[in-house]
Structures are given as C-alpha cells and as structure tokens.
Chain A
Amino acid sequence: AQSVTQLDSQVPVFEEAPVELRCNYSSSVSVYLFWYVQYPNQGLQLLLKYLSGSTLVESINGFEAEFNKSQTSFHLRKPSVHISDTAEYFCAVGGGSYIPTFGRGTSLIVHP
C-alpha cells in the first residue's frame, strides 16, 4: 500500500518570497514521485517528476523538488514566486500497482 501526505492545505506567501510545499509518502516498494499543478478552472498538468538518478529535479518555470529517501519526502520549492504561480499543487506517488496515489493538494496563494 502507498500513501501521500501533503502537510499544508493552504500556503499564503508574498510575491518574490521563497516557498516550500511539503509532501511525505509511504510505500513498501520503489516509488516514482510527481508534482502536478492545477491552475484555476483547468485540469492537472505535470510540473516535475522523479523516476531515478539525481534526487534533485527541476521544472522549466523555476520549481525544484528533492527526493529524500530517508525522510520519505519530496518537497517542492521555489526561491521566488510570482502571482502566476497561484494554483493548487498535488503530490503523487506511483509504484507497485497501477493506481497512482495523489495527495489532498496544497493551495498556493501568492499575494502582491
């Protein structure tokens, strides 16, 4: 069995401030980890993923996440956020079955 915990349901920050969205997982098998972003009134789209290799993965719009096996975490970070980053972010884990598991989501709210 696998599970995903997103520790914060809502994260408010000011524009240009750094942000970290936390994600912890549990799984009895090797995992694949994903962050998806959902902008208002849209479907989810992949932000970044970890399959193997380097534990630090980056997206094209400045987000990064680090796979930490010992802490079973895959936190998402950005050093300076923009208003346009306001969205819902979902952490997901896959591995061992055909049913990927999603976290409950974190709403990132960027204030001017």
Chain B
Amino acid sequence: EAQVTQNPRYLITVTGKKLTVTCSQNMNHEYMSWYRQDPGLGLRQIYYSMNVEVTDKGDVPEGYKVSRKEKRNFPLILESPSPNQTSLYFCASSVGQGVSYEQYFGPGTRLTVT
C-alpha cells in the first residue's frame, strides 16, 4: 500500500530534550516536506526537500532541522524543543518537485512540549 508513515504518532516531552520524528514514504517520491498545524493558522511549511541531500527552509524553520540521506526518509529533528513547538506535525511527499503535484500526507504526530 502506497503511504507516508510517521513515528511516533504521539509524543510528550520536556523542554530542551532532543527528539526526532521519523517520516518514510514508499512511493519513490522526490519531494518531501514537513508542516505544522496549529488552530486558526492552518498548515505552515517547516522544511522541504527536492531530492536526496537537497533541503530548504519553508515558512517556519526556526528551531527545526531536517536531513535527507535516503530518498524514502525525511526525519524532523528538534534539537532543543520549547513549548511553542507544541503542535500537530505532518510529513508529506509528492512525485515531482513542482507545486502542480498533489501531496500525500502522513497521519500526523501530535507533539506536546512541557
């Protein structure tokens, strides 16, 4: 089954404790991205990657890191999480690099930072 998977689905952590949210897709997609969803703000893009070893900042990259060492994986790293990073996070992928392609979303990771 073609899908985007994220782990963990739920995470509660404390301020400053480094964490990684994994994202993997099995569709051989080139383009992958991370979003955060907050009430009243919709989806905002954090980082995106057009291919292996190619990443770039989205609208809200501060406090996050990403890497793309393999085509299928695109982990999101919070080196020192803070409470304002409490949010619902989505990973997405698409077959092409252009914005005419639809995106396939993972099920989401709900992160709480206390």
Whether chain B is bound by chain A comes out as: yes
A residues within 8 Å of B by Cβ?
6, 9, 32, 34, 36, 41-46, 49, 51, 90, 94-100, 102-105
Taking Cβ atoms with an 8 Å cutoff, the residues of B that contact A are: 4, 31, 35, 40-45, 48, 50, 56, 58-59, 90, 92, 97-100, 102-108
A94 touches B105 (CB 8 A): no
In the complex, are the beta carbons of A44 and B105 less than 8 A apart?
A: yes
* B43 engages A90 (CB within 8 Å): yes
| Chain B residues whose C-beta falls within 8 Å of the C-beta of A94 in the assembled complex | 98-100
B99:A32 contact, CB within 8 angstroms: yes
| B-side contacts of A44, CB under 8 Å | 43, 90, 92, 103, 105
Give the residues in chain B near A32, CB-CB below 8 Å. Answer: 99-100
Residues of chain A within 8 A of B56, CB atoms compared: 98
Closest beta carbon of chain A to B66's beta carbon, Å: 14
Chain B min CB distance to A23 (Å) = 12
Whether A100 contacts B108 in the complex (CB less than 8 A), given A43-B90, A46-B102, comes out as: no
Known: A42-B108, A100-B99. 12 other contacts (CB 8 A): A6-B42, A32-B99, A43-B90, A43-B106, A43-B107, A51-B100, A98-B98, A98-B99, A99-B45, A99-B48, A104-B40, A105-B42
A108–chain B nearest beta-carbon distance, Å:
15
Q: Complex formed: what's the CA distance from A45 to B90 in Å?
A: 12
Q: Which residues of A contact B98 (CB under 8 A)?
A: 94, 98
Is A100 touching B107 in the complex (CB atoms < 8 A)? no
Are B108's CB and A43's CB within 8 A? yes
Q: Are B102 and A34 touching (Cβ within 8 A)?
A: yes
| A-side contacts of B40, CB under 8 Å | 9, 104
Contact B48 A98 (CB under 8 A): yes
**B-chain residues with CB within 8 Å of residue A98 when the two chains form the complex:** 31, 48, 50, 56, 97-99
Q: How far is the CB of B53 from chain A (nearest CB, A)?
A: 16
- Measured CA separation A42–B88 after assembly (Å): 11
Q: With A32-B100, A34-B102, A43-B107 known to touch, is A100 a contact of B45 (CB < 8 Å)? A: yes
